Amino acid sequence: MSVIELTIIILIGSYFAGLLGSLTGLGGGFVIIPLFTLFLHIDIHYAIGASLITVIATSSGAAAAYLKEGITNMRLGMFLEIATTTGAMFGAILAIYMPTNYIAILFGLLLILSALMSVRKKREHIVQRKSYLAKKLNLNSNYPTADGPVEYSVTNVGGGFGMMLFAGLISGLLGIGSGALKVVAMDGIMRIPFKVSTTTSNFMIGVTAAASAVVYLQRGYIEPALSMPVVIGVLIGAFTGSKILVRSTSANWIRVVFSIVISVIALQMIYNGVTHKL
């Protein structure tokens, strides 16, 4: 295959990755890595590198938009970034020494978890119980709604911090945003309102990815000729997705279909990992 053919295929594939990623909230990395490894037979390290760059681009773009709405809890994000960047640093180091078929299996497992997360019911819970650590760290805040600002508190700061270490590790190891794990930490453990946890998670993803990208970049895992069409394709796709999302209110069936497709891809990644094809 010539360079220009490969570039065009990646560009088109990345466009749909960005589109689906933004429609489902899963992010583009989940499509990029299988596209590169299963269909184009590109080394998984290049796939991880390109995916990381994409994660930084989409998360930075989206974070800028969310900041305007004032839902993002910057202090909470900053505090938890201590955990995610530390995890990401170790994840990137681990990725250098871990056999690629283990990476493929782990990726498949996380893919299934994320697919399940995206179809599950989302309920809004507001906790008012005061936690000592959350108060000390000034993490409690409020977010604007149609009926005025809603105050919320943060609980189990330690547990959430631990989960974020793991989320960062996975992000650095697999080159994805691991937004699903971040939401588990914030929504499930720290009991933060769903809107706040998704926007704050997005705010953190870019920095987390940058902490491992500096390692990948120096190792030569971030190949310019491959990363360029991915970033451009995903960004345009994500932009299209955000426009569609504004118009259609029932994006639920897309999420279900995508979750099924992604589970099939996940099983294929796991199969290839087990049989040492990746």
144 sits near another protein (criterion: CB under 8 A): no
SS (H, E, C) 228-269: HHHHHHHHHHHHHHHHHHHHCCCCHHHHHHHHHHHHHHHHHH
- Identify the CA nearest to 27 among candidates 93, 100, 115, 90: 115
213 sits near another protein (criterion: CB under 8 A): yes
150 sits near another protein (criterion: CB under 8 A): no
Phi-psi region of 258 (alpha: psi -120 to 50; beta: other; left: phi over 0): alpha
- Contact letters (x/-) for another protein, 233-272, by CB under 8 A? --x-------------------------------------
Q: 45 and 100 in contact (C-beta within 8 Å)?
A: yes
121 sits near another protein (criterion: CB under 8 A): no
Binders of another protein among 10-39, rule CB under 8 A? Answer: none
92 sits near another protein (criterion: CB under 8 A): yes
Task: Return the sign of the alpha-carbon dihedral for residues 116, 121, 126, 127.
Answer: negative
Q: State residue 136 phi and psi, 5-degree precision.
A: -55, -40
Q: Which of 33, 183, 196, 209 binds another protein (CB under 8 A)?
A: 209
210 sits near another protein (criterion: CB under 8 A): yes
The residues of the shown chain that bind another protein, judged by CB under 8 A, are 1-7, 40-43, 45-46, 53, 56-57, 59-61, 63-65, 67-68, 70, 72, 74-75, 78-79, 81-82, 85-86, 88-89, 92-93, 96, 137-138, 206-207, 209-215, 217-229, 231-232, 235
